Amino acid sequence: MRVLIAGGGTGGHIMPALAIADALQKQYQAELLFVGTPRGLESKLVPQAGHKLELIKVGQLKNVSLVTRLRTMLDLPMSVLHCRSLLKQFRPDVVIGVGGYASGPGMVAAILARIPTLAVEPNAFPGLANRLVGKHVSAAAVNFEPALKYFRNAQVTGIPVRAEFFQLQRRPENGLPHLLIFGGSQGARVLNRTMPQVVARLLEAVPGLTILHQAGARHAEETQAAYAASGADPSRWQVHAFLDDMARRFEAADLVLSRSGASTVAEEMAAGKPALLVPFPGAADDHQRKNAEVMAGAGAATLLLESEMTPDRLLESLTAMLGNRAELKAMGERARTLAHPDAASRIAAMACEVLGPGLKAQGSVPPIAR
Ligand SMILES: CC(=O)N[C@H]1[C@@H](OP(=O)(O)OP(=O)(O)OC[C@H]2O[C@@H](n3ccc(=O)[nH]c3=O)[C@H](O)[C@@H]2O)O[C@H](CO)[C@@H](O)[C@@H]1O
C-alpha cells in the first residue's frame, strides 16, 4: 500500500508521524512519501529517518500578523494544487494528516480527489488544519477524548511514544526525592526565571531533594547563573540545555514539572509519572491547557496556569506535592492508566481500515481494537 503523510512543523507533530511510518512499513510493507514545509523540523528529521520528503510552501495562520495571514490565505490554493500534483504522481491509497503546516493542503487535496484520509490529532483541542477538514476525513485517530467530536469516525488511539518510556523501573519507596523540570524542546522561560527564585527555599522544605532542570539551549547559561546566585546547595541541583536520554531522566524522577505539549503529556502517562503542568499560554488555541486538563482531570497531574504562577504559588505546589510521596505514587499510577502503548500500530491499522475492500484484502489487516 502507498501512504502519503502530510504535516509537520514542531517535534510534537513529526515524532509521532515517524513512529506511524515505522509501524506502516513493518506491519504492512507500506511505501511512504512525506509532504512538509522547508521551515518545519520535518525537513531535517524525515530524510534523517530515511524517508522521501516533498516540500511545499505554506504560510502560518495562527499567532501571526494580519499581513502574514492574508498572504497565507492567498497562497493556500497554490499549496492545494501543488499537493494535488503530488497525489497524481505518487498515487497514494491513503493520505494521513498529522497536523501542522502541510497537513491542511495535503488533506484538502486528498478529500477533493476522493482519496481515503486519516487525520491524526495529538492535542486535546485540534489545530486549525484538522478542525477544517475534520468532518470530511474518512477517519481520525486522536490522543485525547475531548478531540473526538471534531472528526468523523474518530477513535482515541493515543499518540506514539518511544518504547523505553513504558519500560522504566518504579521509584524506590524510601529513596531521596528527585524533581525533573523541563519545558519542551526549547525550554520554558517562565520555569527558568521562577525556579531560581524558589530553589533555595524548596531544597530547605524538602529534605534530600535533588533537581534536574532542562532550560533549553538559548537559556541554559543564564538559568545556570541564576541558580548559582540563589544560594541553593550546588550539589543538589543541575541545569542542562537539552536532555538526550529523556526516558532515563523520567525514570529517576518522583515528580515532573513541565509544559503540557502533547508528547510531553503522553510520555508522562507512558512513564507513569505525576506532573505539575504549566501549559504554554501561547500555544495555538490554548491547546496545552486542554492537554493538561485531561491529565489533571484524571488525578494524574496538578495544573498551574502561568498567569497564576507566582514564585510563592510554585513553591507551595512543589512543596505540597513532594511532601506527599504516597499521593505522588497514586497519581503516577493514574497517569499510567491513560497511556496508549499500542498507539502507532493502531493508527497504522486504521490507515488500512479506511482503504477500499480490494486493497484491504491485499494486506493482512488486523481488526482495530476498540
Ligand atoms: C510551543 C508549542 O506550540 N508546542 C507544541 C508542539 O510541541 P513540542 O514539539 O515543543 O513539544 P511536545 O511536548 O509535544 O514534545 C517535546 C518532545 O521533546 C522531547 N525533549 C524535550 C526536551 C529535552 O531536553 N529533551 C527531549 O527529548 C520530549 O521528551 C518530547 O518528546 O507540538 C505539540 C504537538 O502538537 C503541541 O502539543 C505543543 O503545544
Spell out the domain ranges in the chain. 2-159+342-362, 164-337
| CB distance 263 to ligand 1 below 6 Å | yes
**Strand, coil or helix: what is 293?**
helix
Name the percent of the chain lying above pLDDT 70. 95
pLDDT per position as a tens digit, 159-172: 999 889 999 999 98
Q: Per-residue pLDDT averaged across 6-32, rounded?
A: 91
pLDDT at 359: 52
Length of the chain: 370
CA of 93 to the centre of ligand 1 (A): 30
Task: Quickly state the pLDDT bin for 70 (edges 50, 70, 90).
Answer: confident
What span, in angstroms and rounded, lies between the C-alpha atoms of 155 and 283? 24
pLDDT at 61: 67
| CB distance 8 to ligand 1 below 6 Å | no
Which of 9-13, 31-35, 354-358 holds the top average pLDDT? 31-35
DSSP state of 339: -
Q: Residue whose CA is closest, atom 25 of ligand 1? A: 243
Decide if 98 contacts 262 (C-beta within 8 A). no
Residues 6+ apart with CB under 8 A from 67: none
The β-bridge partners of 276 are 257, 302
| CB distance 120 to ligand 1 below 6 Å | no
CA of 358 to the centre of ligand 1 (A): 39
In this predicted complex, what is the ipTM? 0.95
Closest C-alpha to 143, from 297, 296, 336, 347: 347
CA of 152 to the centre of ligand 1 (A): 27
Read off the C-alpha cell for 25: 512499513
pLDDT per position as a tens digit, 285-339: 899 999 999 999 999 999 999 999 999 999 999 999 999 999 999 999 999 999 9
| CB distance 288 to ligand 1 below 6 Å | yes
What span, in angstroms and rounded, lies between the C-alpha atoms of 261 and 204? 31
For 8, left (φ over 0), alpha (ψ -120 to 50), or beta? left
Q: Per-residue pLDDT averaged across 126-154, rounded?
A: 94
pLDDT per position as a tens digit, 21-36: 999 999 999 999 999 9
What span, in angstroms and rounded, lies between the C-alpha atoms of 139 and 117? 7
Specify the range with the lowest mean pLDDT, choosing from 39-43, 83-87, 140-144, 300-304: 39-43
What span, in angstroms and rounded, lies between the C-alpha atoms of 314 and 146? 28
For 329, left (φ over 0), alpha (ψ -120 to 50), or beta? alpha
Atom of ligand 1 nearest to the CA of 100: 35
CA of 113 to the centre of ligand 1 (A): 33
What's the CATH fold of domain 164-337? Answer: Rossmann fold (3.40.50)
Name the percent of the chain lying above pLDDT 90. 81
Q: Per-residue pLDDT averaged across 105-113, rounded?
A: 96
Closest C-alpha to 160, from 313, 350, 2, 32: 350
Assess whether pLDDT exceeds 60 at residue 366: no
DSSP state of 207: T
Q: Per-residue pLDDT averaged across 4-14, rounded?
A: 88
| CB distance 242 to ligand 1 below 6 Å | yes
Assess whether pLDDT exceeds 50 at residue 369: no
CA of 101 to the centre of ligand 1 (A): 16
pLDDT per position as a tens digit, 178-214: 999 999 878 999 999 999 999 999 999 999 999 999 9
Decide if 273 contacts 260 (C-beta within 8 A). no
Place of cell 515532573: 256
Q: Residue whose CA is closest, atom 19 of ligand 1? A: 185
Mutate to test the pocket of ligand 1, among 123, 240, 264 (most ligand atoms within 8 A of CB): 264
Atom of ligand 1 nearest to the CA of 280: 1
Residue 12 assigned ligand-binding role? yes
Amino acid letter for position 133: V
Assess whether pLDDT exceeds 50 at residue 66: yes
| CB distance 103 to ligand 1 below 6 Å | no
For 97, 168, 324, 365, the CA distances from 369, given in Å and listed in that order, are 21, 25, 37, 12
Q: Residue whose CA is closest, atom 35 of ligand 1? A: 12
For 114, left (φ over 0), alpha (ψ -120 to 50), or beta? left
Specify the range with the lowest mean pLDDT, choosing from 74-83, 108-117, 261-270, 341-350: 74-83
pLDDT at 304: 98
Atom of ligand 1 nearest to the CA of 243: 24
Residue 261 assigned ligand-binding role? no
Q: Mean pLDDT, the chain, as a whole number?
A: 92
CATH superfamily, with its number, for domain 2-159+342-362: Glycogen Phosphorylase B; (3.40.50.2000)
Quick one: how far is CA 42 from the chain centroid? 15
Residue 235 assigned ligand-binding role? no
Decide if 74 contacts 47 (C-beta within 8 A). no
Q: Cβ atoms within 10 A of the Cβ of 84, count?
A: 16
Assess whether pLDDT exceeds 70 at residue 367: no
CA of 290 to the centre of ligand 1 (A): 15
| CB distance 122 to ligand 1 below 6 Å | yes
Q: Is 88 exposed, middle or buried (0-12, 13-18, 19+ CB in 10 A)?
A: exposed
Tell me if 2-159+342-362 shares its fold with 164-337: yes
Alpha helices (runs of H) in the chain, residue ranges in sequence order:
11-28, 42-48, 66-90, 103-112, 128-133, 189-205, 220-229, 246-251, 262-271, 287-297, 311-322, 325-337, 343-353, 357-362
CA of 215 to the centre of ligand 1 (A): 13
Q: Residue whose CA is closest, atom 22 of ligand 1? A: 185
Q: Per-residue pLDDT averaged across 5-30, rounded?
A: 91
| CB distance 283 to ligand 1 below 6 Å | yes
